[in-house]
Amino acid sequence: MATKAPVTCHVLDTQTGKPAANVQVTLSKMDNTGASFSSLAQGITDADGRCTNIMEPQALPVGTYKMTFATKPYFEASNRETFFPFVEIIFDLKYPEQHYHIPLLLSAFSYTTYRGS
Q: Which residues participate in the annotated binding site for substrate?
A: 10, 50, 114
Question: How many Å is the Cα radius of gyration of the chain?
Answer: 14
User: Nearest Cα to 44, choosing from 63, 21, 60?
Assistant: 21
User: Nearest Cα to 27, choosing from 9, 39, 10, 45?
Assistant: 39
Strand partners, 42: 26
Annotated binding-site positions = 10, 50, 114
Strand partners, 11: 104
User: Nearest Cα to 74, choosing from 114, 107, 112, 116?
Assistant: 107
User: Nearest Cα to 53, choosing from 104, 2, 13?
Assistant: 2
